[in-house]
Amino acid sequence: MAKLITDRPVYAFRARGFHRHESYFTSIEECVRTYHSAMKKLQPHGPYAILGYSYGTMIAFELAKSLEKEGDQVQYLAGLNRPPYVSPILQKVTWTDCLVNISYFLGLISRDSYRSLVTQLSGLPRHEALISVIENVDPDLLVVLGLDKGGLEQWINVAFSLQDIEHVQVFVKKLNEAMASQGL
């Protein structure tokens, strides 16, 4: 997407924790404060255009609220790939579910492998599930992505930590209630 937008700079945020020395975010507020501060350093004044993808949709929404609260203009706010009623889904996601889904999302495993691994790995300890996925992955693709077993495990740890972040369930509940009240 950044390659298609040529009339202004495009920046992306990522969750903390991909590098081993980084701690995970412990709350949505901490995440929003961190991103808010970074945005203001790069662009001190609006108007801002903010897009969130998947989990980032919730963060983008909260970030827009914090900017507007300070008097900044958020001219555009959008979310991609965030289904409306996700609370029951988020409450059931396991570490192994994250592993299999992200491995599929990255193209590390095929659709057929995805379908079989979801069932096969259910209930296995993390290290066994990770080894099973790694055994099904093209090692050359791992190299292209700059990943190894430890890097993939770290990526899964970051993704899994985000669902446990303080207030996620409260936000999702409020979002679902608001959407239901509007007939969405």
More confident residue, 90 or 160: 160
How many Å apart are CA 23 and CA 44, to the nearest integer?
27
**Domain range 1-82, CATH architecture:** 3-Layer(aba) Sandwich (3.40)
C-beta separation of 54 from 78 below 8 A = no
Tokens of 48: 């801002």
C-beta separation of 58 from 87 below 8 A = no
C-beta separation of 93 from 163 below 8 A = yes
- Percent of the chain exceeding pLDDT 90 equals 27
pLDDT tops 90 at residue 46: no
pLDDT confidence bin for 8, thresholds 50/70/90? confident
How many Å apart are CA 58 and CA 77, to the nearest integer?
11
Catalytic residue among 23, 27, 54, 181: 54
| pTM assigned to the model | 0.65
Q: What are phi and psi of 32, to 5 degrees?
A: -65, -45
Domain positions in the chain: 1-82, 89-163
Based on the residue annotation, tell me whether 87 is a catalytic residue of this protein.
no
